[in-house]
Structures are given as C-alpha cells and as structure tokens.
Amino acid sequence: MKIAVLPGDGIGPEIVAQAVRVLKALGPNFDLEEAPVGGAAYDVAGHPLPPATLELAKKADAILFGAVGDWKYDTLARELRPEQAILGLRKHLELFANFRPAICYPELTSASSLKPEIIGGLDILIVRELNGDIYFGQPRGIRTSELPLFKGAREGFDTMHYSEPEVERIAHVAFEAARKRGKKVCSVDKANVLETSQLWREVMIRISKEYPDVELSHMYVDNAAMQLVKAPKAFDVVVTGNLFGDILSDEAAMLTGSIGMLPSASLDKNNKGLYEPSHGSAPDIAGKGIANPLATILSAAMMLRYSLGMPAQADRIEKAVQNVLAQGFRTADIYTEGTKKVSTIQMGDAVVAALS
C-alpha cells in the first residue's frame, strides 16, 4: 500500500510525524513516500503543488496530509498561495466528498465553550461537497464595475454553481452515510435567495426517494449556524455545498471544544482519499512542540478504514486515542486542570504505547 505523506506548513510536519510513527508502529509494511506541499513546496520548487507532488498523490493509494498556509505567503499571487495546493489536490483527484465528523469525547466535554448538557455525547457528521460551488466557479476575477452607482470602480466577482450530477453524487454519499448512523440527513442551503440552492434542494428531494429509510430535512445556512450552537445534537448528517460546508464544519468542530481532535476524509468515487486534520496550519504555534497530533493520528485511522480496507487497524488507533485521553494526557489546546499536559511528541509516544 502506497501512502503519499504531505506534511505541508506550520504545525503540519510536527503532527504528521506523529501519525507516521503510529502507522509504522501498527506493523503492516506501508510504503510511505513524502513530498513537499503548500508554502514548503513553493520554497523549494516555486509552486505550492509541484508536478512531482501531484504525481505522487495520483499514484498513491491514499494521501496523508498535514496543513498548508503561513502568513509569510500572504503577499503571493493567488495561484501561488499555499491554499492552492489543497484546492488543486481536491480538484485534480476529484475528491468531491468531504467527511468532517464532529465528536465530543466524554473526557473533553469541559474543554468546550458550550454547556456540557448541550454538547455531551455530540456525534454529528458534516458531508461537504468539495469540487464545485463558488470555490471553483468561472468566471471570477477583478474587473471594472458596470453598476450605475459604482461605474468605473474595481469590483471582485465569483460564480456560484452546481450541476445536477454534482448534487446527486454528494446526495448519495450523505444518504449512504446516514444509513450507517442515525438515518437523518439535513441538507443546508440558501434556497430563499440563491438559484444554485434551489436546484440543490430539488435534487436532494429527488435522490431522497431512493432512501425511504432516511429522513431528509432542509435548513437555510444562517439558521443552521444558529441551530448548531443551540441544539447541535438534533443533527445527524449535515450535507451542504463547498462554501457553506467550509464555514459550518469549523463551527461544528469548535463545538467539541477541541478542533485539534477532529480528523477528516476527502474521497473520490472509488474511495481513494486524502486524509487531513480539520484544523489549519496554526503558524503561531509551529515549531513549539505543543500542537495536538490527535486529529492527524485519527485521520490516519480514517485512511485505514475508508481507503486501505483495514478497519481492524483503524479501530486499534481509535481505541488507543481514547485510551490516552482516559489516562489524562492532554496537549495544551485541550488541557484542563487535573490532567497531564504533554507535548506533541509525548502525545505520539502515548498513542504508540497504547496501541499494544
């Protein structure tokens, strides 16, 4: 099994190193090959997604990804910014289905800014479409405005669109996922304003007929943002487009109090996937050895389950993580009084030890 290891920027290399240790400790002989991505790749190869990195990602069975982005690249032209690496990988590999679970671990309930009764036992899944929407829509750019009031001024513009097949395939992913969980799908859109959303909703309703055992509901994105903090446990699977999913998945992750805990998977139609923590590159804490590697370690577990067909090994990692939490080990982001504060490497040590 070939795994492309793309550590990236900021805390990426530190957290990916711990996930790699965990994979190696599992036993099976994975063929791990590393390549630069994001700002780190721009520095050595002049592009955030160099051809060699893309080639490696294409030929691998799965991709383990850290994070990209750093303020020092903020002044680069958009096509050279680190974010283009992850967007390019998603697009080139047709990784259209993004799974972002938000789970509140019982040991970490007090780390959330919400009351324990609101988030205790939370287990929701955001299914975010990843290949379409305003992220990739053309035309886009900066031009001279034709609006009578602002004629001649510079204006930025982007295009939101979704074709029916794009909505159909993410709908199937969401309904299938719900079948294996709480059998509820909430489709989030802005159908009261956007044409794109109106079509999205129509397609969701049509596809839902193929899943009579799953209950479909709809919510406008502004209301969904509110309901996520008011009564998050009312959700099971949330399916939404690229832009709304970007925003709501950060919100859902933070509900759990520990964005450093949440893995994600981005899959193509054959379940080949890219696995990354839900959090970003956190350049402010990079190199300090305090980042939480658990989201990346749990992403490696998702990789074993979804792309590599090794569910027993995935279970082993997930149990080991629960075990280290039960033992009281905490990185700074999830530390509360009475627990044991550990570094990134010590957390990796603890997980490796808990595997056996």
- The least distance separating ligand IPM from the CB of residue 22, rounded to whole angstroms, comes to 22
**Residue 197 or 264 having the CB closest to ligand IPM:** 264
- The least distance separating Mg ion from the CB of residue 323, rounded to whole angstroms, comes to 30
What is the distance, to the nearest Å, from the Cα of residue 234 to the centroid of all Cα atoms in its chain? 21
**Residue 128 or 330 having the CB closest to Mg ion:** 128
Site for Mg ion in 119-158 (CB under 5 A): none
**Residue 108 or 259 having the CB closest to ligand IPM:** 259
Residues classed as catalytic: 135, 190, 222, 246, 250
Using alpha carbons only, give the angle 305, 200, 156 rounded to the nearest 5 degrees: 100
Q: Report the C-alpha gap between 79 and 51 in whole angstroms.
A: 14
- The least distance separating ligand IPM from the CB of residue 253, rounded to whole angstroms, comes to 10
Q: Are strands 123-129 and 340-341 parallel, antiparallel or unpaired?
A: unpaired
* Three-state SS letters, 186-254: EEEECCCCCHHHHHHHHHHHHHHCCCCCCEEEEEEHHHHHHHHHHCHHHCCEEEECHHHHHHHHHHHHH
Q: Does 246 bind Mg ion (CB under 5 A)?
A: yes
Which entry of Mg ion, ligand IPM, none binds 86, CB below 5 to 8 A by partner kind? ligand IPM
What CA–CA distances, in Å, run from 7 to 18, 32, 65, 241?
Answer: 11, 12, 6, 27
Closest CA to 185 of 240, 130, 252: 240
266 exposed, middle or buried (CB, 10 Å; 0-12, 13-18, 19+)?
buried
Closest CA to 15 of 256, 257, 276: 276
Stretch in the footprint of Mg ion (CB under 5 A) among 45-53, 180-188, 238-246, 311-319: 238-246
Question: Count of residues binding ligand IPM (CB under 6 A)?
Answer: 5
**Residue 83 or 268 having the CB closest to ligand IPM:** 83
Site for ligand IPM in 49-108 (CB under 6 A): 69, 83, 86-87
Stretch in the footprint of Mg ion (CB under 5 A) among 26-34, 89-97, 208-216, 241-249: 241-249
**Residue 199 or 285 having the CB closest to Mg ion:** 285
Which entry of Mg ion, ligand IPM, none binds 83, CB below 5 to 8 A by partner kind? ligand IPM
Q: Does 158 bind ligand IPM (CB under 6 A)?
A: no
Stretch in the footprint of Mg ion (CB under 5 A) among 148-156, 240-248, 266-274, 326-334: 240-248
What CA–CA distances, in Å, run from 191 to 10, 173, 207?
Answer: 38, 21, 17
Which DSSP letter does residue 339 get?
S
237 neighbors 178 (Cβ within 8 angstroms): yes
Question: Count of residues binding Mg ion (CB under 5 A)?
Answer: 1
- The least distance separating ligand IPM from the CB of residue 86, rounded to whole angstroms, comes to 5
- The least distance separating ligand IPM from the CB of residue 87, rounded to whole angstroms, comes to 6
- The least distance separating Mg ion from the CB of residue 81, rounded to whole angstroms, comes to 14
Site for ligand IPM in 219-258 (CB under 6 A): 246
Site for Mg ion in 43-72 (CB under 5 A): none
Quick one: tokens of 61? Answer: 């069975």
**Residue 197 or 249 having the CB closest to Mg ion:** 249
Which entry of ligand IPM, Mg ion, none binds 351, CB below 5 to 8 A by partner kind? none
- The least distance separating Mg ion from the CB of residue 115, rounded to whole angstroms, comes to 26
**Residue 208 or 278 having the CB closest to ligand IPM:** 278
197 neighbors 189 (Cβ within 8 angstroms): yes
- Which residue number is nearest to ligand IPM in terms of Cβ? 83
Start-end of H helices in the chain: 12-26, 39-45, 51-59, 83-92, 116-119, 164-179, 195-208, 221-230, 242-255, 294-306, 311-326, 344-355
In the chain, the amino acid numbered 32 is: L
**In the block, residue with structure tokens 């955001």:** 126
- List residues binding Mg ion (CB under 5 A): 246
- List residues binding ligand IPM (CB under 6 A): 69, 83, 86-87, 246
